[in-house]
Amino acid sequence: MNVKRKPSFIQVCVWPATFVGNDVTGFEEFMMKEFGVRVQYLEEIATYPDIENGEIVDDTGGRNDVFFAVHEDDIAGFAVPRLQVGIRWIEDVLSPHNYKSKIYPERVTEYCTWDA
């Protein structure tokens, strides 16, 4: 089950290969300090292995990705700076052009603002 977002925290982001652990407050404070953006930590998901031609690709999967939501008033100012550290909009991550192998649970599509 996906984490319910607080009102006005509408844009979900994915930060690959990132760990927050139990320091959710520290993560949210870091995002405000470093990027000037209000965020709501949602969850961390360990990726499934890549699948090619019906076979698991060796040495893939198990990467820890952080999912968080950005306050609607902060999205425009965060759109470019996020790219410097590899943070992506969930819709871009799950786009058919980018999402060749299902590495996340199907339920994460519900985080999209449009159907992925």
Task: Report pLDDT digits (tens) over 10-52.
Answer: 999 999 999 999 999 999 999 999 999 999 999 999 999 988 8
Q: What number of H helices and E strands is found in the chain?
A: 3, 6
Range 9-111 classified under CATH 3.30.70: yes
Q: pTM score, two decimals?
A: 0.93
Q: How would you list the strands of the sheet with 88-89, edge to edge?
A: 39-46, 64-71, 9-15, 88-89
Distance of CA 22 to the CA centre of its chain: 17
Query: What does the pLDDT look like over 43-60, one tens digit per residue?
Result: 999 999 988 888 999 999
